[in-house]
Amino acid sequence: MIDNFKGKTAVLTGAGSGFGLECARIAARLGMNLVLVDVQQDALEQTANELTAQGANVLACKVDVSDATAMEQLALQVQQRFGAPHLVFNNAGVGSGGLIWENSVADWQWVLGVNLWGVVHGVRLFTPMMLQAAKQDPSYQGHIVNTASMAGLLAAPNMGVYNVSKHAVVALSETLYQDLQLVSDQVGASVLCPYFVPTGISQSHRNRPADVAANKPTQSQLIGQAMSDKAVGSGKVSAAEVAQKVFDAVQAGQFYIYSHPQALSLVTQRMQAVVEGANPRDPFVTKPELGASLRQALRNTEN
C-alpha cells in the first residue's frame, strides 16, 4: 500500500507501450521519479521524452527483462540513482498462440523468459531492496505489481505457452503476497489480470529474438495471432483505464486487479470443474460459433 506517491520512485518494465506507458504517465502526474524499462529503444525514448518534457525525473534503460545480468545491472542503477524504489511494476510481456505441441523450444524460452523470468528477476532483485528500506525507515511504503492475465486464471485453447507463463505469474504473485505478510507490514503486492485490452501485446512479435523469428509460424500460430488481433483490438476498456485501476489498487492495498470483473464467471466455472473433478468445461459454451470456427480452421489445416 502507498498512500502518497509524490517524490517516490517507480520502476516500470514494458514502459514503452500499453499498461507500462499509461502507468508511467499517471506516475509522472503524481510526481514520482520514473525508471522506464523497455526492450524497444524507439518506444522507450518516446516515453522518456514525453515524460521528461512534463518535468518528471526519468531514468530510461533499454533492458531485456529475461536477461538476469541485465536486470541485475538495472537494479544497481536504480539503487545508485534513487535508492530503493517504492513501486515496482513488473509488466513487460509478450503474446503467443498456437497448439501447445507446435511451439518450438525457442518459442517457450522467449515467452517464459519475458513473461515469467522478467517477473522473477524483478521480484528477486527489488524486494530485498524494499524490505531493507522498510527496516531503515518506519514510514517507508512499498508495493510490487506483477502483470499476469485472465489467461493466468483460465486455460483457453490454442494459446498454451502464454497460459503457462501467466498461471505461473499468478502463483508467484500470490506467494509473494503471503511471504511479504510474514515479514513486513510496509511492503505489499498485487497481481494485474487484464482480459482483452488494446495494448499492443498482440503485436509483440515485433520484438521476437532472431532464433524465434527464424522459425516459420505454423498455421495454428497464424490462426491464434489473427484471433488475438481481433479480440485485443476490439477491447472496450482502455489501457489508461486499467492503469488507473492499478494505482487505485496500490493505494488501497488490493491484491487482485481486474480489467473485466464480469469475466470472473468463467473463472468460477473453471474452479467448479476443478473442485468437482470434472473434465475442463467447453470454453466456447457462450460463443459456440467461435468454437466451431476455430475447430474447422484447425482441422482443415495441414501443418
Taking each helix axis from N to C end, the angle separating 18-29 and 239-252, rounded to the nearest 10 degrees, works out to 60
Q: Residue 232: its pLDDT value, please?
A: 65
**CATH second-level architecture of 9-299?**
3-Layer(aba) Sandwich (3.40)
Active site residue 177: no
Pairing of strands 87-90, 9-13: parallel
CA torsion through residues 27, 5, 249, 190, sign: positive
From the number of C-beta atoms within 10 Å of its C-beta (0-12, 13-18, 19+), residue 76 rates as exposed
State whether the Cα torsion 60-147-145-131 is positive or negative: negative
Pull the grid cell for residue 209. Answer: 529474438
pLDDT digits (tens, 9 = 90+) for 222-258: 888 887 777 666 667 999 999 999 999 999 999 999 9
**pLDDT tens track for 25-81:** 999 999 999 999 999 999 999 999 999 999 999 999 999 999 999 999 999 999 999
pLDDT digits (tens, 9 = 90+) for 288-302: 998 898 999 898 865
Q: Compute the radius of gyration of the chain from its Cα atoms.
A: 19
Buried b (16+ CB within 10 A) or exposed e, 132-153: ebbeeeeebbbbbbbbbbbbbb
Distance CA 200, CA 71 (A): 23
Closest CA to 156 of 291, 18, 296: 291
d(CA 57, CA 299): 54
Nearest to 107 by CA among 194, 165, 40: 165
Q: What is the pLDDT of residue 197?
A: 85
Q: What's the pLDDT tens digit per position in 101-159? A: 999 999 999 999 999 999 999 999 999 999 999 999 999 999 999 999 999 999 999 99
Bridge pairing between strands 58-62 and 87-90: unpaired
- pLDDT by residue (tens digit) across 157-182? 999 999 999 999 999 999 999 999 99
Could you write out the three-class secondary structure of 249-292? Answer: HHHHCCCEEECCHHHHHHHHHHHHHHHHCCCCCCCCCCCHHHHH
Catalytic residue of the set 162, 177, 256, 258: 162
Amino acid code (one letter) for 59: L
Instruction: Point out which residues pair with 146 in neighbouring strands.
Output: 90, 191
**How do the domains of the chain map onto residue ranges?**
9-299
